[in-house]
């Protein structure tokens, strides 16, 4: 069987202009997303931030799985709120492309994995909202933004028993890495359930409540899977589900 095609959402990458050069803008995602998808047996294809409904539809129709990568903040108007002063790096075209792709993938039963920004846009696309700045809006917040010299396990989350995430990482307390200042908010989208929280109550994982292959995590398993192989189970799950979807489409 051919490798299943995993669409990975990509964002804009800006590089400052030097004295004798113009500003350089490219589209991409972290290399580790691609590395883990390929290691697990998938074919990674990047989805650029193009705000066209037909482009999103065509892309989803060619995929066997969707991986929502990390990145900047979502535009708050997408979930009916005014922007917090600390909102940054908003890319409206990426927001619209990802929201459309998620809704299409959800309706088609496509496997979805959301990471960091990905868990957030997953909730927003399906009708939920976000905490726009954890330090300012969560009482007693722990540190969710790592300034360490290398990716490392920086705080723990409590994974709910009898959840998809528990089947991959184990239930109870699990140490994870962290690099975010926003999070899934108090309005959880219909069709989703919370399956992990940090010690301060911040939501760290969500999944579909009807058993369909949809998982969102607030941490970055792709960045620590090399040092901590247990996190590879998340990508192995995505590829296994993509293969199942692939076989189903051939019937």
CATH number at 240 reads: 3.40.50.880
- What is the domain range of residue 132? 5-250
Banded pLDDT at 155 (limits 50, 70, 90) = very high
* Structure confidence at residue 20 (pLDDT): 67
Residues written for the chain: 251
Residues 116 and 219 sit within 8 Å (Cβ to Cβ): yes
Residue in 51, 45, 49, 50 with CA at minimum distance from that of residue 64: 45
Residues 166 and 176 sit within 8 Å (Cβ to Cβ): no
Catalytic pick among 116, 155, 181, 204: 116
User: Does the active-site annotation cover 204?
Assistant: no
pTM: 0.95
Catalytic pick among 98, 100, 204, 222: 222
d(CA 213, CA 105): 11
pLDDT digits (tens, 9 = 90+) for 90-122: 999 999 999 999 999 999 999 999 999 999 999
User: Does the active-site annotation cover 220?
Assistant: yes
CA 235 to chain centroid? 12
Residues 25 and 12 sit within 8 Å (Cβ to Cβ): yes
User: Does the active-site annotation cover 222?
Assistant: yes
State how many domains the chain has: 1
More confident residue, 187 or 149: 187
């Amino acid at each position: 069987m051919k490798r299943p095609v995993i669409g990975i959402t990509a964002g804009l990458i800006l590089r400052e202009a030097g004295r004798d050069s113009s500003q350089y803008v490219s589209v991409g995602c972290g290399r580790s997303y691609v590395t883990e998808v390929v290691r697990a047996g998938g074919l990674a294809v990047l989805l650029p931030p193009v705000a066209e409904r037909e482009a999103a539809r065509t892309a989803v129709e060619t995929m066997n799985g969707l991986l929502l990568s990390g990145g900047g903040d979502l535009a708050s108007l997408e979930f009916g709120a005014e922007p917090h002063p600390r909102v940054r790096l908003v890319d409206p075209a990426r927001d619209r492309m990802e929201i459309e792709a998620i809704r299409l993938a959800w309706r088609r039963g496509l496997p979805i994995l959301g990471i960091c920004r990905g868990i957030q846009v997953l909730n927003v696309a399906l009708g939920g909202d976000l905490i726009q700045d954890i330090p300012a809006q969560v009482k007693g917040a722990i540190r969710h933004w790592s300034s360490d010299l290398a990716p490392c396990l920086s705080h723990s989350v409590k994974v709910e028993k009898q959840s998809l995430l528990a089947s991959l990482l184990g239930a109870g307390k699990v140490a994870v890495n962290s690099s975010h200042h926003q999070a899934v908010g108090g309005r959880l989208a219909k069709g989703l359930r919370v399956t992990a929280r940090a010690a301060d109550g911040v939501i760290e994982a969500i999944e579909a409540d009807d058993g369909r292959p949809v998982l969102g995590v607030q941490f970055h398993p792709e960045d620590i899977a090399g040092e901590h192989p247990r996190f590879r189970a998340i990508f192995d799950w995505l590829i296994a589900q993509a293969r199942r979807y692939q076989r189903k489409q051939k019937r």
